[in-house]
Amino acid sequence: MSDIGVAVIGFGLAGRVFHAPFVSAVPGLKLEAIVQRRGDEAAKAYPGARILRSVEEALTDLNIQLIVVGTPNETHFALSKQALEAGKHVVIDKPFAASSAQARELIELASSRGLVVAPFHNRRWDGDFLTVRKLIERKSVGRLVTFESHFDRFRPLPREATWKESSNPANGMLFDLAPHLVDQVLALFGVPEAITASVRRDRDATDIEDAFDITLHYPRLLAHCRATMLACDAAPRFLLHGTLGSFKKYGLDPQEPALVAGAKVPPVGDARQWLAEPESEWGTLTVAPNPADPGTLTRTPIRTELGDYRGYYANVRDAINGKAPLEVQPEDAYQVVRLLEMARISSAEGRTLPVSF
């Protein structure tokens, strides 16, 4: 099959770090164009790609079959709808949409046109998440009773001149980071029975929701998703407690910081490994080999699985070519957005809500 022509819309953090490098590294995809309205950063980074100054140029280009929407959150719905109406497949950075109604409209539009609309829930390809998934499948901590997922930052003062700090319902920590954390929980455990949440503005001055605690209730299991901008000393990224022991993992997947620092993603099939986490960052599994003697514990470092966002785009390629189903279904994104809406309601009303889609 001929390569799928791809246009990445936007060359901020999303386009520069999460999309263009991985599109370029996956055989069967061709980074045909980058839409950057101003500046020449994209041209310098990808001299082989055409630099377009308007979305309309990408939508009318017959060499482009896939549009990647990596623009500010509030623009995702309108741009994705335009692309689908133009007959293009679409990858949508998180959040998939600013409301569940918008998400449903995009899903139905894509279905009616026979097009792929793929949520960019790339953190299913994080090495730490893949490690946690394997431990849960192996029942390494016994029957899991508590699952905690943190994504903490320390940013006590709002950043100036960035859309991420502007007061729009699509911005803020709830719609910036919670899509990743909630999606990972759904991928592990499925649809919860109920949701309890606190969505807050914790900083002294802020225009956005800058902290959240979301608890998803499952039979005999509580899954907590937490983030704040006031964590000077970060909590574990993942913390699992079960009937046999616990697993604790600090630090974030190394792919984003490596790319921000200038690392290059090798093409799929290249002998160079992408991207092993140093042993100093591995998590620790602590168990009681004999539950009758809970004071005698063994602690084992657990090698972090290799994270690789190239796998996300390889799957999108295969889905467009009809060779595989999407690993992150658009319905998954709908459920995530709906749960975020319910989190706001739960927080405002101070109660636990039953979950039903």
DSSP 171: -
Q: What angle do CA 340, 342, 345 make, to 5 degrees?
A: 120
Name the CATH topology of 4-122: Rossmann fold (3.40.50)
Q: Which residues pair with 119 in a beta bridge?
A: 92
Residues in the chain, total: 357
Other beta carbons within 10 angstroms of residue 246's beta carbon come to 20
Peptide bond preceding 275 in cis form (omega within 30 of 0): yes
One pLDDT digit (tens) per residue for the chain, 357 residues: 799 999 999 999 999 999 999 999 999 999 999 999 999 999 999 999 999 999 999 999 999 999 999 999 999 999 999 999 999 999 999 999 999 999 999 999 999 999 999 999 999 999 999 999 999 999 999 999 999 999 999 999 999 889 999 999 999 999 999 999 999 999 999 999 999 999 999 999 999 999 999 999 999 999 999 999 999 998 999 999 999 999 999 999 999 999 999 899 998 877 677 899 999 999 999 999 998 999 999 999 999 999 999 999 999 999 999 999 999 999 999 999 999 999 999 999 999 999 998
Q: Tell me the C-alpha distance between 81 and 191, whole Å.
A: 27
Predicted TM-score of the model (pTM): 0.95
Domains 4-122 and 124-310+339-349 in one fold: no
Do residues 209 and 173 lie in contact, with contact meaning Cβ atoms separated by under 8 Å? yes
Rg (CA), the chain: 21
Q: Tell me the C-alpha distance between 141 and 125, whole Å.
A: 22
Residue ranges per structural domain of the chain: 4-122, 124-310+339-349
SS3 151: coil
Considering the segment(s) 124-310+339-349 as one domain, its CATH architecture is: 2-Layer Sandwich (3.30)
